[in-house]
Structure 1
Amino acid sequence: MNDNEVWDAVRQTLSDVQMDRPVEAIEQRGRARRRKRRVLGLAAGGGVAAVAALALVLPMATGSGPAPAPTGPDNHAEAATRAPAGNTKLVSLAANLTADDPSLPGDASLIIEKVDVRRGTVPSRTRYHLYTDSGQYYYTEARKELPRVIARGENLGNGFHTRGVAAARYAATGDLTKAREQMINSVYDNGKPPTGAEQDRMKILRQKGVANPSPLTDQDRKNIAANHLWVNSVDVLSAAGGDPKVRAGVLRLTSTIPGVTVVDSTTGGQPSLTITAKVWTDDTQHVLTINAQNGVPISSEVNSPETGTFFAETFEVSRVTVADIKTGRF
């Protein structure tokens, strides 16, 4: 069985693993986001979802799972999370955002995400994300429901979102190696991978007919770390991107991913940056366009030729007050 067949074998059983095994990371994300499944990485279908989900059941960095023997001064986990030199365009924009540090109007950020599914089975929709400066996060797919979601106290600002936003804000000016580890592991309860994840992976492969599955290599861990870092960072950006510090942190984090390229572009007559991520094992790519002056997300496209799925999104980001949202003034 070749490498691609091994990956496919793991992919084919991921849904079974998620249903049958109480993995902390999967349960945490499931509780926080039961009613939605995002397009930005995890929900792009097929290969995108499978590889991102694979990252959820494998040890990524320093955690409680068994670790391979060290190889020199750095072990496998450290090699996966250590921050390489960042892309200069993203680093420069992040520096500008942290230097400005403006006083923000309102007390919350509203992101309206319009999803166009041109291929695939997920219907097109509009999503409303409200992230308050105090850390509360509300989500709905019906505009009129947002005030009601707040009134019912359906706050999703815990678990993954709390850790992810904290990791992004820390990354804005903090140590990138530490910030990468925090963001990579943000989907896990307590910010640590579940115990026994590596054994689970080996078990899955044996069940699929791989007699002597190979352990993860340094490169495997780097690839998984890159996937996890991208997916989690953009997920946080689509929920709390109204905060300049979150945007700056996400820019610094994604600048360190080898499979990410950045080019200057123009969108709606305004200067923009087009960021392309190839962090999956197939030909899937994610193209994120942001404003070149303030880092605000403008649009997103996920294209997976292997599965025949294509998702396009546009974002409207604004600062609001929770009081106005409660009364429907938005």
Structure 2
Amino acid sequence: MNDDEVWYAVKQTLSDAQMDRPVEAIEQRGRARRRKRHVFGMAAGGGLAAVAALALALPVATGSGPAPAPTGPDNQAGAVSPAPAGDTKLVSLAASLTAENASLPGDASLIIEKVDVRRGTVPSRTRYHLYADSGEVYYTEARRELPRVVARGENLGNGYHTRGVAAARYAATGDLAKAREQMINSVYDEGKPPTAAEQDLMEILRRKGAASPPPLTDEDRKRIADNHLWVNSVDVLSAGGGDPKVRAGVLRLISTIPDVTVAESTTGGQPTLTLTARVFSSEAQQVLTINAQNGVPITAVMDDPELKTFFASTFEVSRVTVADIRAGRF
């Protein structure tokens, strides 16, 4: 990465940080170009898209300095803070999913999402997302186009979902504190947060007057970490939500976020859990409803009074084979 690329990327990051509200993209390791974020949101190709899981603008490591980014259960690099005590409802459901030993059918997850925009500028529509277990991601808003998109190899995957799914699977039974770090850092290249040099450069640019965001407090860092954990974890429900172990890991991770409340509910006559996330700098909140027995997402709502957006989504999650989709058998 040359100096011009660093300068441009840092300026973009600081500019976004000054907005003091959620944005739809996270700057990736100081890169000049933005990586596509496949999140619960209104952007094309975005995750399960039932909720607009917008990330806070400035990606920083948790704690007072660069955070470790373990890539597996045996990675012991750096100290990892203990994970907070988890919500008991989510922890209990995660435990029951982890106990499932059935073989996983198919080789991909198909997400069909119907978005009902009630306030905002984006039209309501149906979206089709195919997440292959091997990491490929395909997207279209026309059902008949999905086989062609797959056949043409229009893969939107960039490694982010692969890292996120791996973090979720590890979280199902592994060290939850390490799993949190893995999931938080999954959007960065190779799962590594900004280096100390990149963070120092940002400070130099602040002093030069390129931007003047207020210094981050410990509370800011905690809020940003929880925001990233929610965004990435919920997004993984689309990339690997057909796998009970992935759902279990996601539930364990979300259970550690203090600003996510969980309530028992009923949806369409079936027992559900309603998760309400308030992990943003604005008044936005996201509500995700999941099946109380298997953790599969059912509905989701995004409400952001500041951005004057409100939309609700329902979605279907199923296991399929890429070959069947390519052949139009779905």
> Shorter-normalised TM-score: what interval?
0.7 to 0.9
| Matched residue SS, 2:279 | coil
- Structure 1: state its 5+ residue gaps: 1-5, 66-76
What is the aligned partner in structure 2 of residue 92 from structure 1? Answer: 92
What is the aligned partner in structure 2 of residue 23 from structure 1? Answer: 30
* Aligned length, in residue pairs: 303
What is the aligned partner in structure 1 of residue 327 from structure 2? Answer: 327
| Structure 1 residue 215 displacement after superposition | 2.9
What is the aligned partner in structure 2 of residue 3 from structure 1? Answer: none
Aligned-pair identity (%): 65
The superposition leaves residues 276-326 of structure 1 with CA deviations (integer Å, 9 ceiling, x where unpaired) of: 111012221110000000000001101111221112111101122222211
Q: Kindly indicate whether the alpha-carbon contact (under 8 Å) linking 2:100 and 2:244 is maintained by their aligned counterparts in 1.
A: no
Cα distance in 2, alignment partners of residues 38 and 205 from structure 1: 38
- Rate the CA distance shift 1:269–1:275 in 2: closer, same or farther, 3 A: same
Q: Kindly indicate whether the alpha-carbon contact (under 8 Å) linking 2:47 and 2:239 is maintained by their aligned counterparts in 1.
A: no
Q: Does 1:10 align with 2:10?
A: no
What is the aligned partner in structure 1 of residue 293 from structure 2? Answer: 293
The superposition leaves residues 230-274 of structure 1 with CA deviations (integer Å, 9 ceiling, x where unpaired) of: 011111112321111111111000000000111110111000000
Q: Does 1:123 align with 2:123?
A: yes
- Rate the CA distance shift 1:150–1:205 in 2: closer, same or farther, 3 A: farther
Q: Kindly indicate whether the alpha-carbon contact (under 8 Å) linking 1:63 and 1:192 is maintained by their aligned counterparts in 2.
A: no
Cα distance in 1, alignment partners of residues 290 and 156 from structure 2: 25
What is the aligned partner in structure 2 of residue 74 from structure 1? Answer: none
Equivalent positions of 1:1-330 (< 5 A) are 10-11=18-19, 23-24=30-31, 27-29=34-36, 35-37=44-46, 44=52, 49=54, 52-56=55-59, 58-60=60-62, 78=80, 82-195=82-195, 196-197=198-199, 199-200=201-202, 203=205, 207=209, 210=212, 214-330=214-330
Which stretch has the larger CA shift, 122-131 or 288-297? 122-131
Cα distance in 2, alignment partners of residues 223 and 299 from structure 1: 25
Which stretch has the larger CA shift, 274-283 or 287-296? 274-283
Which stretch has the larger CA shift, 104-113 or 259-268? 104-113
Q: CA RMSD in A?
A: 3.6
- Rate the CA distance shift 1:86–1:119 in 2: closer, same or farther, 3 A: same
| Structure 1 residue 126 displacement after superposition | 1.7
The superposition leaves residues 180-208 of structure 1 with CA deviations (integer Å, 9 ceiling, x where unpaired) of: 00110111001112232465378469858
Counterpart residue identity of residue 10, structure 1: Q
| Structure 1 residue 157 displacement after superposition | 3.6
| Structure 1 residue 54 displacement after superposition | 1.4
| Structure 1 residue 120 displacement after superposition | 1.2
| Structure 1 residue 143 displacement after superposition | 1.1
Counterpart residue identity of residue 200, structure 1: M
- Structure 2: state its 5+ residue gaps: 1-13, 68-78
| Matched residue SS, 2:83 | coil
- Rate the CA distance shift 1:202–1:252 in 2: closer, same or farther, 3 A: farther
- Rate the CA distance shift 1:89–1:205 in 2: closer, same or farther, 3 A: farther
| Matched residue SS, 1:24 | coil
- Rate the CA distance shift 1:247–1:30 in 2: closer, same or farther, 3 A: closer
Cα distance in 2, alignment partners of residues 250 and 178 from structure 1: 14
The superposition leaves residues 108-164 of structure 1 with CA deviations (integer Å, 9 ceiling, x where unpaired) of: 221111111111122222221222333333222221121112111223343211111
| Matched residue SS, 2:84 | coil
| Matched residue SS, 1:172 | helix
Cα distance in 1, alignment partners of residues 171 and 207 from structure 2: 36
Q: Kindly indicate whether the alpha-carbon contact (under 8 Å) linking 1:28 and 1:160 is maintained by their aligned counterparts in 2.
A: no
| Matched residue SS, 2:34 | helix
Q: Kindly indicate whether the alpha-carbon contact (under 8 Å) linking 2:21 and 2:281 is maintained by their aligned counterparts in 1.
A: no
| Matched residue SS, 1:100 | coil
What is the aligned partner in structure 2 of residue 71 from structure 1? Answer: none
Cα distance in 1, alignment partners of residues 151 and 89 from structure 2: 42
